[in-house]
Amino acid sequence: MSVYDSRLQQLRQAMQQAGIDIYVILSSDPHLSEYLPEYYQARAWLSGFTGSAGSLVITADFAGLWTDSRYWVQAQQDLAGTAFILMPWGDPQTPDMLEWVAQTAQAGQVIGIDSQVMPQSQFAQWQNMAQAHQLSIQGQWDLMTSIWVDRPALPQAPIYVHEPPFALRDVKQNIQLVRQAMAEQQVQSHLLSSLDDVAWLLNLRGQDVQYNPVFLAHVLFTEEAVTLFVDMAKVSAKVAQHLYQHQVDVQPYTYLAQALAALPEHSRLLVDPNTVTAGVLQHAAQTQWVFAPNPSTGIKACKTPAELEHVRQVMAYDGAALCAFFAWFEDTVKQRPIAETEIHEQITAARAQQPHFVSPSFGTIAAFGANAAMPHYQATEQAHDMITGNGLLLIDSGGQYLGGTTDITRVVPVGTPTPEQKRDYTLVLKGMIALSQAVFAKGVTGQQLDVIARMPLWQAGVDFGHGTGHGVGYFMNVHEGPQSISWRRRADATPVPMQPGMITSNEPGLYRAQQWGIRIENLIACVEKEQNDFGHFYAFESLTLCPIDVRCIETTLLNSAEIDWLNAYHKQVYERLKPLVSGSALQWLEQNTQPLATTNCSN
């Protein structure tokens, strides 16, 4: 019996003792974070599946993992030899978790859910389903504590102040903007549980969550006060003084329930049901809940002109680091095989040489050959390939700097690329260029813009399963809302128009299972284009500064406008990065920003 089957057996015994027939485990915490503290990584501990997204449903005779297409191949590998079954979410033949439980459960059965880590919006769906099928939900069950005897402790890293010249927004102004939105909603209180909103609001940063500079905390606005609920051991004298100066009260993390229960009966509480959990919100059951997006989410998404200037400088630093890395890679791969795991070490070391670097912004994806067909593949010391011979290497990486956050993907050939690989690469590049060149009217959403990036691939009869773009924070989460570029969205989600200052990734891809994967990614900023009698128009500014490898391009598939864009982009990259690099890094930059001839293009 595998260790994971043994843990599953222990969980089923705990379910039986608690009178639970169906148990649901999410990849989540009380703040609905993307990257979880180890304490909340129950799904990975129980099943062995280490992807960043996935949920489990456990019964007496079934253990299913639901995860999306980014992780199907990885999940099959991680779950091999265990009793867990992959339920490929998004496959038309596979019901989602809610549907599966509705179809499978018998009337009178009990569903166990830890509501402390389930969004209120999702919990309401489960309640409606349970009522319709004569099931009952017990939302106060964290059964993992009883079997996970060596469960890691909650993080204890100290909080620090994000200071000028990089912090460019005043805390009092942030609070005032949120209070204005509260007044418009006619609410008396507002709860913030999303960690990036909390950190942004207060100009604070932390280290509780890997890669994202945030800390576990809630903020409660009332008509009288703004209160931060946080582990007091993390609050230094400097942080306490910072909060005092901005008239922010500080209370222990566990006091939130008491504060919510003390809100006036029938008063109006503003919460985002997608960022506050049902377990937290239950403590304010006496209030009238007003569901709407957090005002802070939309405000922080639109970077100020001063913040964008810092981001542009960060992109130059990051580009210089990448020049040094790729120069090392191109030289080393000719001499010896390179482990995929070595890519993260080398690229992080190169970034660490740049001013104001803090940490990677996510775990580097270095995927060679067939591994790149898994969009979120992660090489480990126990399971990785050597980069040698012929194949495509996909590298998706990013950095956290005091003045911004980066995220970039490049694909480079090792050996000689095949005609089929070059065709796929060029189709992806065409989509990426098309979105980079987009001009669009005010009010257009990312869902509508997604078609632009996919059109060259759709015309060739291919597609990719992930979104084309996600928001990116300012020394904050590498994945940030509210905007996204994807035609797929939740049925209850409201499309968000692109607005000036929003930084979004542009990353179309193409993945052929067991063969190769291609993704090319730049970060782009929405900027003003023009305003005239016909309307108000926006465009995108490409922020990322790093050459796009031309060795994989099939130039006959590009038109002259696309080649002109690529040459202009490479000219900008060269001019911006040349003062920051020297030696082999400069030589690599010069070699990889040479103009591409238009003689063999499609028109």
Q: Hunting for tokens 């409201």 — which residue is that?
A: 494
Q: How many residues does the chain have?
A: 603
| pLDDT at site 310 | 98
| pLDDT at site 352 | 98
* Residues pairing with 400 in the sheet: 359, 405
In this model, does residue 344 exceed pLDDT 70?
yes
Measured on CA atoms in the order 524, 527, 435, 489, is the torsion positive or negative? positive
**Residue 352: in which H helix or E strand, if any?**
helix 340-352
Q: What are phi and psi of 422, to 5 degrees?
A: -65, -40
| pLDDT at site 363 | 92
Q: Mean per-residue pLDDT for 304-310?
A: 98
Q: Mean per-residue pLDDT for 429-456?
A: 97
How much is the mean pLDDT over the chain? 94
| pLDDT at site 361 | 97
Sequence-distant (6+) residues with CB within 8 A of 538 are: 439, 440, 441, 442, 444, 498, 500, 526, 527, 528, 529
- Contact between residue 203 and residue 162 where contact means Cβ atoms under 8 Å apart: yes
The pair of three-digit structure tokens given for residue 187, joined into one six-digit string: 């609410």
Q: Fill in the amino acid letter for 235.
A: V
Strands (E), 96-225: 110-113, 136-138, 160-161, 189-192, 204-205, 217-221
Q: pLDDT tens digits for 92-141? A: 899 999 999 999 999 999 999 999 999 999 999 999 999 999 999 988 88
The pair of three-digit structure tokens given for residue 441, joined into one six-digit string: 């009217």
In this model, does residue 525 exceed pLDDT 90?
yes
The pair of three-digit structure tokens given for residue 515, joined into one six-digit string: 């063969």
Q: pLDDT tens digits for 284-295? A: 999 999 999 999
| pLDDT at site 141 | 80
Q: Fill in the amino acid letter for 168.
A: L
| pLDDT at site 376 | 80
Q: Mean per-residue pLDDT for 551-556?
A: 96
Sequence-distant (6+) residues with CB within 8 A of 394 are: 365, 366, 367, 368, 372, 409, 410, 411, 517, 518, 519
* Residues pairing with 113 in the sheet: 24
Nearest Cα neighbor of 504 from 486, 484, 527, 477 is 484
| pLDDT at site 198 | 98
The distance of Cα 397 from the centroid of its chain, to the nearest Å, equals: 12
The pairing of strands 386-387 and 404-405 is unpaired
In this model, does residue 491 exceed pLDDT 70?
no
| pLDDT at site 52 | 81
In this model, does residue 426 exceed pLDDT 80?
yes
DSSP label at 140? B
Q: How many CB atoms lie within 10 A of CB 544?
A: 23
In this model, does residue 602 exceed pLDDT 70?
no
- How many angstroms separate the most distant Cα atoms in the chain? 74
Sequence-distant (6+) residues with CB within 8 A of 68 are: 53, 88, 89, 90, 465, 466
Q: What are phi and psi of 490, to 5 degrees?
A: -65, 145
Q: Coil, strand, or helix at residue 409? A: strand
Nearest Cα neighbor of 174 from 193, 199, 145 is 199
In this model, does residue 599 exceed pLDDT 70?
no
| pLDDT at site 49 | 93
In this model, does residue 378 exceed pLDDT 90?
no
| pLDDT at site 345 | 96
| pLDDT at site 69 | 78
In this model, does residue 428 exceed pLDDT 80?
yes
Percentage of residues of the chain with pLDDT beyond 90? 89
Q: Mean per-residue pLDDT for 460-473?
A: 95
The pair of three-digit structure tokens given for residue 553, joined into one six-digit string: 């391009």
The pair of three-digit structure tokens given for residue 90, joined into one six-digit string: 């998004």
Cα angle: 267, vertex 118, 224; to 5 degrees? 30
Alpha-carbon gap, residue 163 to 277, rounded angstroms: 31
| pLDDT at site 478 | 96
Q: How many CB atoms lie within 10 A of CB 508?
A: 30
Alpha-carbon gap, residue 388 to 475, rounded angstroms: 35
Q: pLDDT tens digits for 6-60? A: 999 999 999 999 999 999 999 999 999 988 999 999 999 999 998 888 999 999 9
**Residue 88: in which H helix or E strand, if any?**
strand 85-88
More confident residue, 456 or 77: 456
Q: How many CB atoms lie within 10 A of CB 172?
A: 12
Alpha-carbon gap, residue 160 to 372, rounded angstroms: 37
Measured on CA atoms in the order 61, 63, 66, 67, is the torsion positive or negative? negative
Q: Mean per-residue pLDDT for 200-219?
A: 96
Burial (CB count <10 Å: 0-12, 13-18, 19+), residue 293: middle
Strands (E), 130-216: 136-138, 160-161, 189-192, 204-205
For residue 559, CA distances in Å to 271, 394, 542 come to 49, 25, 20
DSSP for 32-79 reads --SSPPGGG-HHHHHH---SSS-EEEE-SS-EEEEE-GGGHHHHHHHH
Q: Mean per-residue pLDDT for 255-262?
A: 97
Q: Mean per-residue pLDDT for 479-492?
A: 84
The pair of three-digit structure tokens given for residue 495, joined into one six-digit string: 């499309």
| pLDDT at site 465 | 87
Q: Hunting for tokens 């070059």 — which residue is that?
A: 422
Q: Mean per-residue pLDDT for 394-414?
A: 98
Categorize the per-residue pLDDT at 374 as very low, low, confident or very high, splitting at 50, 70 and 90: confident
Residue 597 has, within 13 A of its CA and on its CB side, a CA count of 2
Measured on CA atoms in the order 365, 366, 369, 370, is the torsion positive or negative? negative
Q: Fill in the amino acid letter for 10.
A: Q
Burial (CB count <10 Å: 0-12, 13-18, 19+), residue 388: middle
DSSP label at 149? T
| pLDDT at site 520 | 98
In this model, does residue 484 exceed pLDDT 90?
yes
The distance of Cα 230 from the centroid of its chain, to the nearest Å, equals: 24
- Contact between residue 154 and residue 30 where contact means Cβ atoms under 8 Å apart: no
* Rg from Cα positions in the chain: 25
Axis crossing angle, helix 305-333 with helix 340-352, rounded to the nearest 10: 130
In this model, does residue 603 exceed pLDDT 70?
no
Categorize the per-residue pLDDT at 72 as very low, low, confident or very high, splitting at 50, 70 and 90: confident
Q: Hunting for tokens 């909060």 — which residue is that?
A: 243
Q: Hunting for tokens 């000719």 — which residue is that?
A: 334
In order of start, what are the domains of the chain with their CATH numbers?
3-147 (3.40.350.10), 160-300 (3.40.350.10), 302-591 (3.90.230.10)
